[in-house]
Amino acid sequence: MPIYKTIHPKKNTTVYVWHITESFDELNTVFLTENCSNRLNGMRSELHQRGFLSVRHLLKEAGYTDADLYYNDNGKPHLKDGKHISITHSYTFSGIIISDDEIGIDIEKNREKIKRIAHKFTGSEQKFLVNKNLVEQLTVIWGAKESLYKIYLYGGLSFKKDIPIDTFTLKDKETTGWIKATDWNKKYHIFFEQLEDFTLVYAYPFKK
């Protein structure tokens, strides 16, 4: 299908979302560098391959090609023109966000099993968790922390201790969060919404 959704949360920032309904052959029509073609061929899961290809279609929608994308030593993606990019895909959805600012994005499927691992990634957030729609709320928290982790350049953050998310309810559709490390103490806007049975979350620097 064509692009599922485009969001313009602020000037010079765009979110692109793809609903992956196409077959591998239908998606395998986009330009790939030799390196990325080898990566694609090395993937054992067709679901992963389709997610990988759908991201390249999103790049095309944004006016880029696979050749415009490169990764640093920590696996963080960058665009050659200097703009910031973050990438995500989960099962049948993929997304990218492109901005002049540092940004992060995550899409997660809402699954019951997140309740069993909540103690591993929630710290201060436990004080505002509620039983109603707990899966969705926990998925927002995970997605927010994942988005902020993608912003941080150096890796090694603790989801539980170093990336606190401020109080929110699902109807708010936004909150704030922090990256708190020895060399980094910054606050971020966080936005979230439901895409069928998935949760989309993205983050960028907080400005009053």
Asked if residues 157 and 143 have their Cβ atoms less than 8 Å apart, the reply is: no
* Locus of tokens 């080898």: 38
User: Which stretches of the chain score pLDDT less than 70?
Assistant: 1, 208
pLDDT value of residue 1: 59
5-101 and 108-205 have identical folds:
yes
The pLDDT value given to residue 153: 83
CB 67 within 8 A of CB 49: no
User: How far is residue 97's CA from residue 59's CA, in Å, rounded to a whole number?
Assistant: 10
70 vs 80: CA distance, rounded Å: 7
The CATH number of 108-205 is 3.90.470.20
CATH class of 5-101: alpha beta
CA dist., res. 149 & res. 155, Å (int): 7
Domain boundaries along the sequence of the chain: 5-101, 108-205
Q: What is the pLDDT of residue 92?
A: 95
Task: Report if pTM > 0.85.
Answer: yes
Tokens describing residue 7: 């969001």
The Cα–Cα gap between 49 and 168 comes to 35
Helix axes 134-151, 114-121, angle to 10 degrees: 40
Q: Where are the alpha helices (DSSP H) in the chain?
A: 24-27, 34-41, 46-61, 114-121, 134-151
